[in-house]
Structure 1
Amino acid sequence: MKKEDLIAMGLSEEHADAVVGKYGTMIPKERFDEVNNAKKTLEDQVENHETQLKDLQDKAKGNEDLQKTITDLQQANETAKTEYEQQLKNERMNAALKLSLHSKVHDVDLVAGLIDKTTIELSKDGKVNKGLDEQLKSLQESKSFLFVPEKQQPTFKGWNPAGATDNGAGASGVGSNFAKMANEKSSSDTNNTPWD
């Protein structure tokens, strides 16, 4: 579920930002179930293959060709297991990076591709532990257009009414200028009305 979905459900933009900031973009349950079932299927297949290899190894004692085939299959299984674990580690790293970068950058995928993932460490709960802040700081200095500007309180400058303070700026208001002109004119004229 994305920020836009939360806004469409009636949440304000601030609340939607808070939800997405705390929990990240949510994965639909169907997609989670699909990935989870695929993972369970693969784990079952690996376990089944290992069981079959052990049975073959016990039955093939004394047969050199079969022993070599079993050894090759065991090595292939180890390679597949290592690749699977690396792929899982990469997926966890990408998910943690995207959650950490969310609402800080305009394009999460682009910035995640610029990050050196070998220097980043994840905590046990799957969040970025260290190594990201330094990289983000250097990226922000060199490519600031990728980052969402921090929200700042707007400052307004303009005319101050007569008698208002201008925080030491020294500028006088229109009313005080009018009064000053009227006083100067009245002191130079014999008529004491400022409207002449």
Structure 2
Amino acid sequence: MEWLKKLIEAAQIKDGKLDVGALMAQINTEFPKNAVPKDTYNALAETKKQLEKDVSTRDKQIEDLKKVDAAGLQAEIEKLQQENKEAADKYAADMKDITLTNAIKMAINGKVHDEGIVSGLFDKSKLVVDGDKVVGLDDQIKGLKESKAFLFKEEDPSGSQKPGFKVGTDGSKGAGADVDTQLASIFGNTTTK
């Protein structure tokens, strides 16, 4: 948090007020350099847990090997090699699944009504992890938008529409000319004061 302290100390004060906009811009620039994104942290934490479990399993296997006689040692080694190969394959599949799940959730975050339902509709077998990118994800999102558009929130191209009720007028000329009449017509009352 030393980086944040330096930014705050160096923040410009104009007319007795802190320039919040400039400070936020600096924080937004420096934050990614000093913090780990949540999905990366979760993936690394899961990897660490798996590796600790694997080390524990290997230690137990070594102890078991010390107890086996020379004749049974070769069979035990082959058995353990097969188990280790299966464990490595399972780990690789689990890591791919975690990576794909995180990529899907990041791609649909804020764009759908229910992330849990929509993320379950993706065919992960058709997705390929290529470094930091997931090939095929955009195509599946586009396909879902076409086939199941009701799952997605409407996009506002102008970016001006805000969720919630619209109170009052939109500020256009004459829009608030006769609010009483408008309210009366909404509630079915034709007489106004």
TM-score of the superposed pair, with normalisation by structure 2:
0.52
Residue equivalent to 1:42:
53
- Of 65, 72, 95, the match for 2:79: 72
**Aligned equivalent of 2:117, options 110, 123, 135:** 110
Q: Cα RMSD (Å) of the superposition? A: 4.1
The CA deviation at 1:123 is: 2.9
Cα shift at 1:120: 1.6
Aligned twin of 1:173: none
1:146 pairs, out of 124, 146, 151, with 151
Following the alignment from structure 2 to structure 1, what is the Cα–Cα distance between the partners of residues 47 and 91? 14
Structure number with bigger Rg: 1
In structure 2, what is the equivalent of residue 181 of structure 1? none
1:86 and 2:93 are equivalent in the alignment: yes
Q: Which runs of 5+ in 1 are unaligned?
A: 1-14, 162-196
**TM-score, normalized by length of structure 1?**
0.51
Alpha-carbon distance between aligned partners in 1 of 2:77 and 2:130, rounded to the nearest angstrom: 38
**Any stretches of 5+ residues in structure 2 without a counterpart?**
1-23, 162-168, 175-193
Paired AA for residue 138 in structure 1: G
Contact 1:97 1:112 in 2 (8 A): yes
C-alpha separation between the residues in 1 aligned to 2:60 and 2:88? 12
Mapping of residues 4-15 of structure 1, within 5 Å: none
**CA positional deviation for 1:48:** 3.3
In structure 2, give the amino acid aligned to 1:94.
T
Name the structure 2 match of 1:180. Answer: none
Q: Which residue of the other structure, out of 134, 139, 143, is the alignment partner of 1:134?
A: 139
% identical equivalent positions: 29
Match of 1:191? none
- For each residue in 1:30-68, what CA deviation from the matched residue of structure 2 results, as whole angstroms up to 9, or x when unmatched? x788645423412423553675688789x72xx1x3422
Secondary structure, aligned partner of 2:141 = helix
**Structure 1 letter corresponding to 2:78:** T
- Residues 6-45 of structure 1, C-alpha deviations (whole Å, 9 max, x = no match): xxxxxxxxx9xxx9xx99x846x7x788645423412423
Q: What is the CA deviation profile of residues 117-136 of structure 1, one whole-angstrom value per residue up to 9, with x for unaligned ones?
A: 122222313x32x2122222
Q: State the partner residue of 1:124.
A: 131
